Structure 1
Amino acid sequence: MPDVAGPTGYRPRRSVLYMPASNERALEKARTLAVDALILDLEDAVAPDAKEQARENACHAASSGDYGRREVTIRVNAVGTQWHAADLAAAAVAGPDAIVVPKVETGEQVRALATALEAAGAPERTQLWVMVETPQAVFNAREIAAASDRLSVLVLGTNDLVKELAAEHVPGRQPVLTALSLAVLAARSAGKVVLDGVYNDVQDAEGFAAECEQGRQLGFDGKTLIHPGQVEACNAAFAPSEAAVEDARGVLAAWESGAGAGVVTHRGRLVESLHVETAQRVLAVHEAISGLDAD
């Protein structure tokens, strides 16, 4: 499991909000949002004639230190576009928490990106996040996830994936469930974090809550967002509930008190080492989130 060795090793990424880096007011507002991470966007949300100013804004924001405990990342334009090289070079110098690269489809591309970041002088702390948003990327997800130690997060691009599949956006996301699960499997096999894609209808609170619950059940660590109004519900959905925390503590207590016994149970359920590991993870996540709330 990624980043779950204990409270100090886990970094919450429940809510990860895209912010257009061309919008200076949005960047300023982001300093006050209860979001775990920000993706300062130079790609889809930015018009071609605003790309250079957006790049400057994002790099200034990422290096400013004004965002507190929030993880600040920069999404550059895709490899092969006219802006990619300049985006990557500038972002590397700015040294954000991570650089997010869209349209990645192979492990070879991941290795090339890691090499390019090092050559551009990116500090070691600047991680690489890559987006899985095409059929080829889904089929290569395991190779992508394991391609570099610098790569820490897979980000699902579900809008592009639906388009590439010639599918439709429907409640329950049946057309992309296989792809979502394959991405989670790939991330877990390589010990990486994996983030769910966005929910497009910012007025549909009920639909958004349902998709957050589905993403958590599938195994995602958090969800990418397109509007600040989605942050609170997302944080709640991807945090352990009070009942889950209480149950995890009970499992650990039962395990400790039953040391040496042939069979350990909690509330009538058999407790094995795998249940203990799950309980430890729940409490690690809970304590890390509680630490954020205290800050």
Structure 2
Amino acid sequence: MGEQAAYTPRRSVLYMPGSNARALEKAKTLPVDGLILDLEDAVGPDHKEAARDAVCAAARSGEYGSRELTIRVNGIGTPWHDADLAAAGAAGPDGVVVPKVGSADEVRSLVAALEAAGAPEHTRLWAMVETPEAVFNVREIAAASPRLAVLVMGTNDLVKELRAEHVPGRGPLLTALQLSLLAARESGIAILDGVHNDVTDAEGFEAECVQGRDLGFDGKTLIHPGQVEPCNRVFAPSEEAVAEARGILEAWAAGAGRGVVTHRGRMIENLHVEVARRVIATHEAVSSR
């Protein structure tokens, strides 16, 4: 189905606990591309309703600048899900993140519930892929609704469900990661890599960012502000990549009408031009921040 019409930077998308007022305030100052204000794992049962009110107020505040602001609701079948979804939809954030989405039918039901809650058109659905069922259904999930904008890999839950281990290189997860990437690219939606759990492991975190970028992810979900800078750097085009892209586009423009165009001794085709244009669009979008 092709790529998104306009590139939205999602290099770094940080989970923030919805029950922590200081965290919600600090999020306004962080150089992240996106925020997930969390009502699920980061909030205990006794604080769910207060956190719901707080994140919906944050979504309405307009105080988060250019950061893409989303709310993660509690999962389908939990006591809080329906009220979370209705409140989040009415609050009108940029996105509503739903954990453990397992099928296309669930996507359509979630979209119907958001629309029933009066969610504005800009409030998109983000579906988390974190179960074997979701991986097997991910192609249908990704294509289920125009309102679905992003797949989010829930790698911790996937590791648990697979009875695997967290290991360097993430070998146990590569099949699920790549199948989900294929589905996202076929449907023209974005996809975010999962979190890195050890916030003290700077070297391992950066290696995982590089792996995610090389695989094709648009960005990575984060659990600590200290992870933002290296993530932004890795997922942004390097100076060398931008210079190469500009050189390709200049050579292509100069060679219009010729049968063969070369740049630095390499033949240039339409596919190279498309990649170069994407690099420049990404560079311009992140530079504007």
TM over 0.5: yes
User: 1:123 and 2:157 equivalent?
Assistant: no
CA RMSD of aligned residues (A): 0.8
User: 1:54 and 2:51 equivalent?
Assistant: yes
Q: Deviations over 1:4-59 (max 9, x none)?
A: x4xxx211000000000000000000000000000000001111111111101110
Residue 149 of structure 1: CA displacement? Answer: 0.4
Which residue in the other structure is 1:161 paired with? 158
User: 1:144 and 2:144 equivalent?
Assistant: no
Which residue in the other structure is 2:205 paired with? 208
Residue 259 of structure 1: CA displacement? Answer: 1.5
Which residue in the other structure is 2:279 paired with? 282
Which residue in the other structure is 2:29 paired with? 32
Residue 269 of structure 1: CA displacement? Answer: 1.5
Question: 2:112, 2:44 → 1: CA distance?
Answer: 28
2:269 aligned residue (272, 276, 280): 272
Q: How many residues align?
A: 288
Question: 1:269, 1:44 → 2: CA distance?
Answer: 50
Structure 2 CA distance for partners of 1:2 and 1:53, relative to 1, 3 Å: farther
Which residue in the other structure is 1:72 paired with? 69
Question: 2:277, 2:151 → 1: CA distance?
Answer: 24
User: 1:16 and 2:13 equivalent?
Assistant: yes
Residue 93 of structure 1: CA displacement? Answer: 1.1
Question: 1:182, 1:269 → 2: CA distance?
Answer: 32
Percent identity reads 72
Structure 1 residue runs without a partner (length 5+): none
Residue 290 of structure 1: CA displacement? Answer: 1.1
Question: 1:259, 1:62 → 2: CA distance?
Answer: 48
Q: TM-score, normalised by structure 1?
A: 0.96
User: 1:96 and 2:93 equivalent?
Assistant: yes
Question: 1:92, 1:134 → 2: CA distance?
Answer: 25
Letter in 2 for 1:66: E
Q: Deviations over 1:203-243 (max 9, x none)?
A: 11100000000000000000000000000010001000000
Residue 2 of structure 1: CA displacement? Answer: 3.7
1:199 aligned residue (187, 196, 199): 196
Question: 1:265, 1:179 → 2: CA distance?
Answer: 38
